[in-house]
């Protein structure tokens, strides 16, 4: 085997064993660079005789061409392999579904309000609405609040600045009862409505916030009595908590706009951090109610000798806390999407008394 044959064999083997494009480039420089082994043979051609040049020249040029071809082939193989590796590493599988987008949720307050509206609508109640900013007559006077009642004081109610012309001060409504007044003043009996909406009072703790939500109800007709009120509320509470019946009691109370007045309690057991109805020795106040005061009927243009009625009111946010195990009222108004993701409801599952509420 000649020296050229051995040199070619060594170079071809080294090129085949190269594992990176950089190694192939180093072999090219070692063989074909200015100081390379093949380049040295070509430079030494000038010292040979004409006959030797004719004999060695084609052999050395052939060696150079074969080595150049081997280098190019190996470089292309390695670059192709590197590209394949990059493609595998950076591959995006377009057949996979996209990352799921965060879905919106219905706030527990709105969920419970929809549940209450669905239940009362099933019992024949219509929904009535009114303004959040009220005057003194609709918020207090028409509802039989005496002039020195605490609710008329600054420490309980949000008053707006006095009107520069009349001096009258509007208020952020402290209850949705003004909606009842407006309904009675514009609609003749029989009346059967609920009034859901925002209300405002100067309260702030774990179970009270300055802005909260109420649903109040009103029924006006001939022959209405406490038995109708009791059946309506017991039926509502049982259906709202999705139980067969409710063990309730009505305690005497005082509200300026009803007489007699009562607070409705339900029997429950809250041991272990879970609310269980119709069991245990505890009673929990859940709403206020009573027969509409004759003075309220007169203030609204309804003859109390001909018509009677009952009214009730309950906090939507508090009912949401009780039904869905929310320990603190304040986070319900903090706009924390993490809290809403935990306690929120699907917007595609509207409450329905037939198929279920929650």
**SS3 for 96-117, per residue?**
CCCCCCCCCCECHHHHHHHHHH
**Tell me: the pLDDT tens digits for 227-240?**
999 999 999 999 99
| Contact predicate 331/338, CB 8 Å | no
Q: What token pair was written down for 70?
A: 């081997």
Classify residue 170 as left (phi > 0), alpha (psi -120 to 50) or beta.
beta
**Tell me: the pLDDT tens digits for 135-191?**
989 999 999 887 777 766 655 788 889 888 888 889 999 999 999 999 999 999 999
- Report the percent of the chain where pLDDT is more than 70: 96
| Contact predicate 181/116, CB 8 Å | no
| Mean pLDDT of the chain, nearest integer | 87
Asked if the model's pLDDT at residue 206 lies above 70, the reply is no
The pLDDT of residue 151: 65
The pLDDT of residue 49: 78
Largest CA distance in the chain: 142
- Total-model pTM: 0.69
Helix (H, G, I), strand (E, B) or coil at 132: coil
- Rounded Cα gap, residues 120 and 218, in angstroms: 11
Residue with tokens 């057949």, as numbered in its chain:
95
- Rounded Cα gap, residues 266 and 249, in angstroms: 6
Q: What token pair was written down for 358?
A: 């929650």
Asked if the model's pLDDT at residue 207 lies above 70, the reply is no
- Rounded Cα gap, residues 154 and 134, in angstroms: 15
**Tell me: the pLDDT tens digits for 31-75?**
888 777 877 777 777 777 777 777 777 887 887 888 888 888 888
The pLDDT of residue 355: 67
- Rounded Cα gap, residues 264 and 103, in angstroms: 38
| Contact predicate 358/240, CB 8 Å | no
Helix (H, G, I), strand (E, B) or coil at 78: helix
The pLDDT of residue 87: 84
CB atoms within 10 A of CB 326: 18
Please spell the DSSP secondary structure of 175-244, one letter per residue: SSHHHHHHHHHHSPSPEEEEEEEEEE-S--BTTB-SEEEEEEEEEEETT--HHHHHHHHHHHHHHHTT-S
């Amino acid at each position: 085997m000649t020296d050229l044959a051995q040199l070619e064999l060594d170079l071809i083997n080294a090129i085949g064993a190269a594992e990176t494009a950089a190694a192939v480039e180093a072999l090219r420089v070692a063989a074909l660079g200015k100081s390379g082994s093949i380049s040295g043979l070509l430079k030494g051609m000038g010292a040979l005789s004409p006959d030797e040049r004719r004999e060695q020249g084609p052999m050395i040029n052939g060696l150079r061409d074969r080595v150049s071809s081997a280098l190019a082939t190996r470089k292309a193989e390695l670059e192709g392999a590197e590209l394949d590796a990059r493609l595998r590493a950076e591959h995006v599988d377009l057949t996979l579904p996209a990352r799921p987008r965060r879905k919106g949720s219905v706030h527990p307050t709105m969920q419970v309000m929809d549940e209450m509206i669905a239940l009362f609508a099933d019992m024949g109640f219509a929904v009535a609405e009114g303004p959040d900013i009220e005057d003194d007559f609709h918020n207090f006077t028409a509802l039989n609040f005496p002039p020195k009642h605490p609710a008329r004081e600054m420490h309980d109610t949000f008053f707006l600045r006095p009107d520069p012309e009349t001096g009258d001060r509007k208020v952020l409504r402290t209850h949705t009862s003004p909606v009842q007044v407006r309904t009675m003043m514009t609609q003749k009996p029989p009346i059967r409505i609920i009034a859901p909406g925002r209300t405002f009072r100067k309260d702030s703790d774990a179970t009270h916030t300055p802005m909260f939500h109420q649903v109040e109800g009103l029924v006006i007709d001939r022959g209405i009595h406490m038995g109708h009120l009791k059946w309506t509320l017991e039926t509502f509470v049982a259906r709202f908590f999705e139980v067969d019946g409710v063990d309730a009691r009505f305690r005497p109370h005082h509200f300026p706009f009803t007489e007699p007045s009562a607070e409705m309690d339900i029997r429950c057991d809250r041991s272990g951090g879970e609310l269980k109805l119709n069991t245990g020795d505890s009673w929990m106040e859940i709403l206020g109610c009573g027969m509409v005061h004759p003075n309220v009927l007169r203030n609204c243009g309804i003859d109390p000798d001909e018509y009677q009625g009952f009214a009730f009111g309950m906090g939507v946010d508090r009912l949401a806390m009780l039904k869905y195990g929310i320990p603190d009222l304040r986070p319900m108004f903090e706009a924390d999407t993490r809290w809403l993701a935990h306690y929120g409801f699907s917007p595609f599952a509207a409450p329905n008394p037939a198929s279920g509420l929650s």
